[in-house]
Amino acid sequence: MRLRARSIAILLLSTLSITACSSGGDDDAATTAGAASCAPSSGPVTLTYTTWIPNIEKVVDVWNKANPDIQVKVQTGPNGNGGTYANFFNQLKAGNAPDLGHIEYDALPSFRVQDGLTDLGSCDIVASAQSKFIDWTWNQVSFGEQGHVYGIPQDAGPMALFYRKDLFEKNNIPVPTTWEEYAAAAAKVKAAGGYITNFSQSDINQFAGLAWQAGAHWFGNDGTNWTVSMTDDATKKVADYWQGLIDKKLVSSVPPWTPEWDNAYNSSSAWTWVSAVWGANSIASGAPKTSGKWAVAPMPQWSAGEKVAGNWGGSSTAVFKTSKHPYEAAKFALWLNTSTEALTLLNKEANLYPATKEGASLPALKEGVEFYGGQPIYDVFAEASTQVKADFTWGPTMTQTYADASDGFKKAVTGQSTLTQALTDAQAKTVSTLKSQSIPVKE
């Protein structure tokens, strides 16, 4: 089903790029008109907001009751790559995009490149809210440009190590704090009849989080030109490391988000998972038989004593270029993503982990979690969230990049290729895709 979703996404995007080419010059006029003003509208305003957060209506209702003059109509549908991003692009073209949209960090650059977003940098309320957000999340929405903001950070996916406390203790394996120790533990786990983890065969997103931790810079933009470096030293280090584990058959490799994957964890075949904060829920519902036996530790480090975490996922609330009420839209987006009442509800209803500094101390994120033996696991993630490197940027064609890299990864885990080769190929294809879409790229 994931594959199908991806092929649909590609199909949608390819039809899109055809129409994008024929768009003509009317875009420039809209740019200058939209960017400058962030003045409040006079009179009552109705905003539309498209997202795929389950039960978002309950959160928006709270806002609507308190703000009779700024009513928000919410629409939900499939997730971004499942069709909603393609719809956003179509709607931008047709002029009926919603005021606000849910966009993941890795998709934000593609909307920026297509000039679909309102720059909220000139909104005072937005600029003054910057200090509320964890630094790296702000970089994800400003792309490091001072005075420019293309969305309000919503949630984050700081990564940590989920591990089977009971099995590690029973087999006298110390909990790894470095990747070296992790590889040593992998051999011991194999000897005890398990796999240290499952290296999901087509999940490039997890790998991106691991590379992010190691200091990779896959994409860069100097103001005009993009650079693509998916095979920089940091990425190669991570790829070689996992290639080693795959070659020694120390990891299993079932596809992610499938019943097989659940089963690998439920049957205690896989013992750890280096994953994002939202992964806590994935294990709990996928592997109910292992309840109470898990614990969470910080991500293993590349050098002992370091404190660096990766990030996997996370999204923003963006205001589209076509919105006539950017001030009110920004106001709502800020409330949605910084107010305690909204963050509490988003966490309760949809398991979102806030991108704000204060968000980490929501009461719900301080409690012990039964599935993890009562450990207050979110403390680990709160710390990890402050340790994510701020200078990682996504590229403007991630759907294609992910698809190409995933294809290569699938071959790598089955022994027909290597991870480095997959990344080299994805790099070349990304550069040619950028060129084919007339996005300036420096080789």
Partner 1 sequence: MAAFKLPKYAAMLVMAVFTLYFLTPLWWLFVASGKKDGQVTEGSPLLPDHFALGANLADLFHYNDGIFLRWMANSIGYTVGAALLGTLLAGMCGYALAKYVFRGRELIFNIVLGGVLVPATALALPLFLMFSKVELANTFWSVFLPSLVNPFGVYLGRIYAAASVPDELLEAARIDGSGEVRTFFTLSTRLMAPAFVTIFLFHFVAVWNNFMLPLIMLGNERLFPVTLGLYSWNTQVNQHPELRALVLVGAFVSLVPMVIAFLSLQRFWRSGLGAGSIK
**Residues of the shown chain interacting with partner 1 in the complex, contacts defined by CB under 8 A:** 1, 5, 8, 11-12, 15-16, 19, 50, 52, 54-55, 75-79, 81-83, 86-87, 90-91, 93-96, 98, 256-257, 259-260, 262-263, 266, 278, 281-282, 285-286, 288, 313, 350-351
Contacts of 252 (CB under 8 A, 6+ apart): 195, 197, 198, 199, 264, 269, 270
CA distances 358 to 329, 347, 361, Å, are 22, 14, 6
Report the run of H or E that residue 102 belongs to, with start and end. Answer: strand 100-104
Of the pair 106, 119, the CB lying nearest partner 1 is at: 106
Residue 294 CB, nearest approach to partner 1 (Å): 15
Residue 304 CB, nearest approach to partner 1 (Å): 33
Report the run of H or E that residue 48 belongs to, with start and end. Answer: strand 45-51
Of the pair 177, 266, the CB lying nearest partner 1 is at: 266
Nearest-CA neighbor of 241 among 306, 302, 304? 302
Residue 236 CB, nearest approach to partner 1 (Å): 28
Of the pair 74, 167, the CB lying nearest partner 1 is at: 74
Structure tokens at 403: 């698809």
Of the pair 125, 350, the CB lying nearest partner 1 is at: 350
Residue 67, classed as helix, strand or coil, is: coil
Residue 97 CB, nearest approach to partner 1 (Å): 10
Of the pair 370, 391, the CB lying nearest partner 1 is at: 370
The string of DSSP codes covering 419-433 is HHHHHHHHHHHHHHH
Residue 153 CB, nearest approach to partner 1 (Å): 17
The string of DSSP codes covering 162-217 is EEEHHHHHHTTPPPPSBHHHHHHHHHHHHHTTSBS-B--TT-HHHHHHHHHHHT--
Residue 297 CB, nearest approach to partner 1 (Å): 22
Of the pair 87, 139, the CB lying nearest partner 1 is at: 87
DSSP letter at 260 equals H
